[in-house]
Structure 1
């Protein structure tokens, strides 16, 4: 029996040969299949939130299912909140029952039509169908973007810090961070916390 030495093979070529030209070709192909999506920047939110939402809209955040597709060993793929489905961006931000409850509370608080979302895009574009006033749309848009950020923070807390993952806590973060950032990063200075908690567009 002939003994062969161990060797490496590259999956990017049918013959297993590594060529820089083929790497470039694969990168160009991947870029074409996933073009950059435009994002309407929310000026009263920090850059880290805008960038996170931009990456979320392109399905480039490290959900459990996304990590598994990259051959990273994940012991559990189910959603950390509901455990009813594999955790991908669409499920986490639109399909999960706990997150759906968060969006219901946001809509009720902001006095806008209820959100019926099937994918991330539906969440991020809901503000376009809620308000005719430009200033109000900007606030609503920011609340949903901030909501995605707070959902992701809560998700990470459950995974890495034994957090509770309660919809009430997520809603509390949306209200408190929204108040802080809108008060300090927009033209609406000196907001009243009590009035904000009743209705976020009270100052318009």
Structure 2
């Protein structure tokens, strides 16, 4: 295509179907005419052995076909592997895309906490946490260590019957699946619950910063229960989520429907 555009610009080549004619603004003599005739002869004799129509090819896969899974692997490898956390994958099909994007931004500390904004020389009244006003508003503090956040996480952990929060970190929020590492079904749902919790903690923080109504820890915890149930139920055909069971014993919902059929 580039070559043809070049020749069209130089010689006025017009292509119609498989034939082409020459529209020149001036006559060509001598050596130039001979070379042009040779070029025209070569173009006329050229045969394309491929009978298929032109199409786009995906260069990152051997067969040239675009696949979402290949794109996901490239994103993980090129963008999400960093010194902060070494992740194999940062996706969970139980949550909306906006939560995945939130995770992708939070891991490399790209959510606009006051500490991160201050590093970019943005003038702020304060760099302290707007929720507790007791420490710098870093990503870790904003999602985990704030007194308000600790109350929310304690309720989430008790809901899942996991007891007290021990050595909880950003890495564990977004990747670690303990204590359900041996159960892929429970680990997927538990990871998604932690993502939902961190998302609503951040959303509640924004509500307070921008003058909207902020929730109490109890209200926020109830919202986490309701929205996680709503999102998971809408996106999962593998798990059977019963509302009453979800509130009382969420881990028991984390058994695939195929497994239940097999057992029954």
Please give the range of the TM-score, normalised by the shorter of the 2 chains: 0.7 to 0.9
1:103 pairs, out of 134, 153, 169, with: 153
* Cα RMSD, aligned residues only: 2.4
**Could you say if the C-alpha distance between residues 80 and 146 of structure 1 is closer, same or farther in structure 2, counting changes exceeding 3 Å?**
same
Q: How many residue pairs align between the two structures? A: 173
Using the TM superposition, name which of 40-49 and 113-122 deviates more: 113-122
Q: Give the alignment's TM-score, normalised by structure 1.
A: 0.76
**Alpha-carbon shift at residue 190 of structure 1 (Å):** 6.3
Deviations, residues 120-168 of structure 1 (Å, cap 9, x unaligned): 2232244233452110011100000111100011001111133234211
**Alpha-carbon shift at residue 117 of structure 1 (Å):** 4.0
Structure 1, unmatched stretches of 5+, are 1-31
Secondary structure class of the residue paired with 1:172: helix
Equivalence for 1:141: 191
Structure 1 residue 56 corresponds to structure 2 residue 67: no
Moved over 4 A (4+): 32-37
**Alpha-carbon shift at residue 40 of structure 1 (Å):** 2.8
| Distance in 1, Cα, partners of 2:213 & 2:201 | 12
2:131 pairs, out of 72, 77, 81, with: 81
Task: Note if contact 2:85-2:107 (Cα within 8 Å) is conserved in structure 1.
Answer: no
Structure 1 residue 91 corresponds to structure 2 residue 123: no
1:175 pairs, out of 225, 231, 234, with: 225
Task: Note if contact 2:173-2:191 (Cα within 8 Å) is conserved in structure 1.
Answer: no
| Distance in 2, Cα, partners of 1:194 & 1:94 | 28
| Distance in 1, Cα, partners of 2:92 & 2:164 | 22
**Could you say if the C-alpha distance between residues 78 and 165 of structure 1 is closer, same or farther in structure 2, counting changes exceeding 3 Å?**
farther
Higher relative contact order (CA 8 A, sep 6+): 1
Structure 2, unmatched stretches of 5+, are 1-80, 256-264
Q: Give the alignment's TM-score, normalised by structure 2.
A: 0.59
**Could you say if the C-alpha distance between residues 34 and 60 of structure 1 is closer, same or farther in structure 2, counting changes exceeding 3 Å?**
farther
**Alpha-carbon shift at residue 114 of structure 1 (Å):** 3.3
